[in-house]
Amino acid sequence: MFRPLQDIRVLDLTNVLAGPFACHQLAHMGADVIKVEARQGGDLARQLGADADLNRALMGVSFLAQNPGKRSITIDLKHPDGKEVFRRLVASADVLVENFRPGVMDRLGLGYRTLLEVHPKLVYCAISGFGQDGPLRDLPAYDQIIQGMSGLMSITGAPENAPYRVGYPVADTIGGLTAAFAISSALAARERTGGTFIDVSMLEAVMATMGWAVSNHLIAGREPRPMGNDNVTASPSGTFRTGDGLINIAANKQEQFEAVCAVVGRPALAADPRFAERQGRLQHRAELKAALEDAMASGTTDDWWRRFNAAGVPAGPVYTVAQALDHPQVAGRGMVGTFADAPGVGRDIRVIRTGFKIDGRAPEVSAPPPTLGQHSDEILAELGYSPQAIDALRSDHAL
C-alpha cells in the first residue's frame, strides 16, 4: 500500500469536522494521527449523530465518520503537568492541527512560536472560520455561518426559494481538504523551510472553490444568482423530469444538444430559431426544458439515461445517498470501509474512505475510531513515561 506519510506524526487537536476531516485524509496517507482530546467529553463530535445511544457512549456517528485510523490521548492543556506532556508530544511530532479561535493556543502558552522552540521544523496548521487576522478573526464560525457569509447560499437553490444551504457541511469539508493540501505541501518543503505556520480560513477556502461564480462578478461584472438545478453556462443542462422521476443532462456542446433532440424524437428543436445557437438556448431555457420534458414523459429515467449516454450525451439519474452507496460503481471501488465490532460501539461500522485510488488501490486505515483516551498509556510509554509516572499524571487529573 502506498503510504507516503507513514513516517509522519500528526497531532490532531481539532473538534467536530473541518480539522478532523483534514487529519482523516492524512491518516489514509499513512500518518500516525494522535487525537489530543479533553479528558471530559473529548471531541464534541463524539456526542453528535443520528444514534442517541452512541452519542451517550461518546462514540457518535459524526465522530466515527472522521476518525478511523487515529489514536486518542486525553491531556488537560491547562494543567502544568499536562502542558509538559503536550510539549514532549510535540517534540515527537511533525504536524500540529488545531481549530481553536485565534489566540487560544497562545493564551495557553502553547502557540506556534513557543512550540517552535520545542520543534524547529514543526508544521503548525490553524483552521478557523475567518483566519488569524482581520476584523472578524475572533468570531466563532460554524458551517452554515460560512455558507451564508461566503455568498454560497445566495447562489444555491432556485430563484423562488434561495438562499439555501448546501445539504451537508460543505464549508467544513472544504476547509479540511484545504488544510490537508496545505499540510502535505508544507511537509514536502520542510527540509528547506523549517517550521511553517498555515492559516486556513474556512471563509476564503469556500470562496476559492467558487471560481466561476466569483470570476463572473470580478471579470464580467455579472452578479451570480441562484439558478436551481440549471447550468449557468449551457442549456439543456440541468435536471429534467421523466415519466417516473428525474434525470440530469449535461448537453454543453452543440453536437450534444442536437443529439438530445434526436434521442427524444424532436429533431425539429435543433433547427428552431430559439434554440439553434447557445445564447438562444440560454435565453429560452424554460421553453426548451418544457419541450424536452414533454417528450421524455413517455419513458423512464433508466431508459433515457441509457439512450442519452449511448448517443454521447452525459446524463445520469438523481440518486438518494443509499442508492449511491449501493451502486456497483461506488461499492466496487473500495470507497466504503468496514470495521468489525468497533470498540465502544459494540457492532460493525461502515465508513467512507477517500475519493481516489493510488496504483489501483483505495487508501485505507487499519484501526477503527478510538474510544476517548484509548491510547493514552501507549502513547505516554512511547514518550518515555513509566507506568508509575502515568498513574501519577492520571491521579493529578493532568490526563
Q: Annotated active-site positions, please?
A: 172
Q: Could you tell me which residues come within 8 angstroms of residue 137 by beta carbon, excluding any fewer than 6 positions away?
A: 102, 128, 130, 131
Task: Return the number of other C-beta atoms located less than 10 Å from residue 163's C-beta.
Answer: 14
- Give the cell for residue 342: 468497533
- Give the cell for residue 394: 492520571
- Give the cell for residue 176: 479540511
- 3 state DSSP class of 45: helix
Q: List, in sequence order, the alpha helices (H) in the chain.
A: 18-28, 52-56, 61-66, 80-91, 104-107, 112-118, 143-149, 170-193, 202-208, 211-218, 254-263, 278-283, 285-296, 301-310, 321-326, 328-331, 376-382, 387-395
**CA neighbours closer than 13 Å in the CB half-sphere of residue 221:** 0
- 3 state DSSP class of 242: coil
- 3 state DSSP class of 177: helix
- The residue whose grid cell reads 424532436 is 266
175 in Cβ contact with 206 (< 8 Å): yes
